[in-house]
Amino acid sequence: MTQTGFKPICPICEEPILTNDADMHEAIFTRGDVQGLKHELRKIVNHRCNVVHRHHICNLKKYHGAGHGSPEEFRACVYRILEFEGAEAVSEYMNNVLDFAPVLAPRAAQVELLIVDYRIELVKGIEFLAESLLKKGKK
């Protein structure tokens, strides 16, 4: 359960994870990505801004090649992290990772672009909601 009492949502099937049958999934940086780094830097893999819960069966059905899988799966996992941790926290995490492991810059740049996309989608959602409320008010 999250701090607010909600069950985590699997980013692959979009269903709540109701049992303990979940896997912690390295969404952005995998253990393989940090394998050659100093031991103390390997902890970036287990950071809350890098992992998501996924149903065990979803991990089996949607096996990730190279840890990340399709662009859609990668996006879904990053968006789930953004929903729970917030764009500012994820962006700060990316900056901290780059301070210690510049070799991970290409993946961090991908995530920063997804943060921009996520924020744009939020704004569009807010605009749609505002329009809907205005239309209701005019009736």
pLDDT tens profile 76-127: 999 999 998 999 999 999 999 998 888 889 999 999 999 999 999 989 988 8
pTM of this structure: 0.79
For the cut 50, the answer to whether the pLDDT of residue 65 exceeds it is no
* Alpha-carbon gap, residue 35 to 126, rounded angstroms: 41
- Whether residue 6 contacts residue 53, with contact meaning beta carbons closer than 8 Å, is answered with no
The string of DSSP letters for 78-123 reads HHHHHHHH-HHHHHHHHHHHHHH-GGGHHHHHHHHHHHHHHHHHHH
User: How confident is the model at residue 68, as a pLDDT?
Assistant: 57
User: How confident is the model at residue 139, as a pLDDT?
Assistant: 66
* 55 DSSP 8-state letter: E
3-state secondary structure of 137: helix
pLDDT tens profile 17-64: 887 778 888 889 988 888 887 776 777 888 999 988 888 877 776 555
